[in-house]
């Protein structure tokens, strides 16, 4: 889109080790969600821009792939130290463009660094296997080798963490990388690129192309891009997977969620409410691992839980993420805020009880910001849109169940299967839930069960398209090709042709 704004800050591409606007033809507006003011203009990359970034990455690939893994790890070690050095500055950038509170932004960077730390152990991950004498004087060895140029497409809600779920493992494995961040908060990827260069990463190994769907489509179709990693909504994840695989690429595409938290009658309700408040309203609900549905078992549990939630919501501190004591910031854009607010009307029209209406919150002095208070629905049923669809905002729906079996069935019947949680004091109930629930990530008295970096992240059903979860061991498998070599060195033994299937005999 074109714009007439007077903002002067330009956010450009980062290609071949330097900032490059490539004479940007069009730019999009970047906002401070707390004020509603335009703070910058981001280049909207063209197919030509993507071609240049991929060309540079392809040129850099051979030398980077030949770099010993421990040398690649050393660069990532230095990058980790530089990010830690600049964590306050990077967190402030996230808050300024996304809106989340500073402590949440800092936590995002830390969780991203955990993947960097995992990637620093890449020599161990790439060791391969060796078998001596699989037949007479024949040995076998397995290798993991890099793919080539790979691309990452990240969402607005985690401008630091999600890119760091992708590129550290990809780079450690010997690939070169083209990053396409969200155009809503694009600055952080360029800052990370600068720190990689400062850490000693060779030019062209990591590149950033800003943009919208035009840049995405160019990456999905580019003949020299070997693999694509994506995190975003389910419709787009499905599109990315379908389009990229049609062009012969390896794809991991993580989609949307409707994460349920089951609360059993024996649960510690104070603990459950504290967990729910952070999981449902932290980062204004703009997390793919947010709890958006709570399923209390039994009406007594539901009534007690509702009472506590209403009290907690009255105390929820909403405001600019830079202010002390604020617990929830604004939503990322006006359009998204209005979309979430519309879901409140949709729920009321469907017959759900809007117990707490976030639209009633007032924010004196910040009328231009994209604020919405936390909302709570009760008596939500599975046929309602507010239950079926991902709202991606500070809206919690309560669906009452009369038994554990009914609660479990609710979770399993939903089309999404990203994450889920159960709060209970009974080990057998927890074990049954863990065994039978159809979701990729499960929390037992843990509301947001995001795996540590040395495990892998990903959902089931329509929350994941592709065969690999992201980061951890699955990330190493995704960013490498497996090769097995069978070797025999000649000796003085006379060898004759064999026409039967070779065996180990």
Q: Active-site residues: which are they?
A: 288
Task: Tell me which residue has tokens 């299967």.
Answer: 417
For 435-454, give one letter per residue: b (16+ CB within 10 A) or e: eebebbbbbeeebbbbbebe
Task: Tell me which residue has tokens 């900032």.
Answer: 19
Q: How many CB atoms lie within 10 A of CB 485?
A: 11
- What is the largest distance, in Å, between two alpha-carbon atoms of the chain? 91
Torsion angle of the four alpha carbons 182, 246, 289, 327, in this order, in degrees rounded to the nearest 10 = 10
Residue 338 half-sphere exposure, CB side, CA atoms within 13 Å? 3
Contact yes or no for 452/423 (Cβ under 8 A): no
Taking CA atoms, 306 is separated from 63, 269, 272, 280, 311, in Å, by 60, 10, 11, 14, 9
Return the DSSP state at 176.
Answer: E
Phi, psi of 79 (to 5 degrees): -60, -45
CA distance 170 to 148: 10
3-state SS class at 211: coil
Residues 6+ apart with CB under 8 A from 90: 83, 105, 109, 160, 188, 191, 192
Contact yes or no for 43/27 (Cβ under 8 A): yes
Report residue 381 CA to chain centroid gap.
Answer: 29
């Amino acid at each position: 889109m074109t714009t007439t704004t007077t903002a002067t800050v330009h956010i450009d591409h980062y290609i071949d080790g330097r900032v490059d606007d490539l004479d940007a033809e069009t730019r999009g507006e970047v906002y401070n969600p707390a004020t509603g003011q335009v703070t910058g203009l981001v280049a909207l990359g063209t197919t030509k821009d993507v071609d240049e970034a991929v060309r540079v990455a392809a040129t850099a690939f051979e030398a980077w792939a030949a770099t010993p893994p421990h040398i690649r790890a050393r660069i990532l070690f230095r990058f980790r130290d530089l990010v830690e050095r600049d964590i306050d500055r990077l967190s402030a950038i996230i808050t300024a463009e996304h809106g989340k509170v500073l402590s949440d932004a800092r936590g995002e960077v830390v969780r991203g660094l955990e993947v960097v730390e995992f990637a620093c152990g890449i020599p161990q991950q790439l060791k391969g296997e060796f078998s001596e004498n699989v037949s007479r004087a024949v040995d076998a060895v397995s290798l993991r080798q890099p793919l080539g140029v790979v691309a990452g497409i990240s969402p607005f809600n985690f401008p630091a963490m999600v890119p760091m779920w992708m590129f550290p493992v990809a780079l450690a494995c010997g690939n070169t990388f083209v990053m396409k961040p969200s155009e809503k908060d694009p600055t952080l990827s360029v800052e990370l690129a600068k720190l990689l260069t400062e850490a000693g990463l060779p030019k062209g190994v990591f590149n950033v192309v800003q943009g919208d769907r035009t840049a995405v489509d160019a990456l999905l179709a580019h003949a020299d891009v070997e693999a694509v990693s994506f995190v975003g909504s389910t419709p787009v994840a499905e599109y990315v997977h379908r389009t990229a695989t049609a062009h012969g690429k390896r794809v991991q595409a993580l989609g949307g969620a409707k994460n349920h938290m089951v609360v059993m009658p024996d649960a510690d309700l104070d603990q459950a409410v504290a967990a729910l408040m952070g999981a449902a309203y932290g980062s204004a609900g703009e997390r793919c691992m947010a709890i958006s549905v709570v399923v209390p078992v039994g009406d007594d549990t539901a009534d007690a839980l509702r009472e506590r939630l209403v009290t907690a919501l009255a105390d929820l501190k909403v405001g600019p993420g830079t202010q002390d004591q604020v617990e929830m910031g604004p939503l990322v854009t006006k359009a998204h805020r209005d979309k979430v607010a519309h879901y409140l009307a949709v729920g009321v029209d469907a017959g759900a009880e809007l117990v707490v209406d976030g639209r009633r919150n007032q924010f004196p002095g910040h009328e231009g910001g994209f604020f919405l208070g936390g909302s709570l629905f009760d008596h939500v049923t599975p046929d309602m849109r507010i239950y079926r669809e991902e709202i991606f905002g500070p809206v919690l729906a309560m669906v009452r169940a009369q038994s554990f079996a009914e609660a479990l069935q609710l979770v399993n019947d939903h089309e999404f299967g990203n994450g889920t949680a159960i709060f209970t004091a009974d080990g057998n109930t927890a074990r049954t839930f863990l065994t039978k629930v159809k979701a990729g990530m499960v929390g037992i008295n843990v509301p947001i069960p995001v795996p540590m970096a040395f495990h892998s992240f990903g959902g089931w059903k329509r929350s994941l398209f592709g065969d690999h979860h992201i980061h951890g061991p699955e990330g190493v498998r995704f960013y490498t090709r497996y090769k097995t070599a069978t070797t025999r060195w000649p000796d003085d033994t006379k060898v004759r042709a064999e026409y039967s299937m070779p065996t180990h005999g």
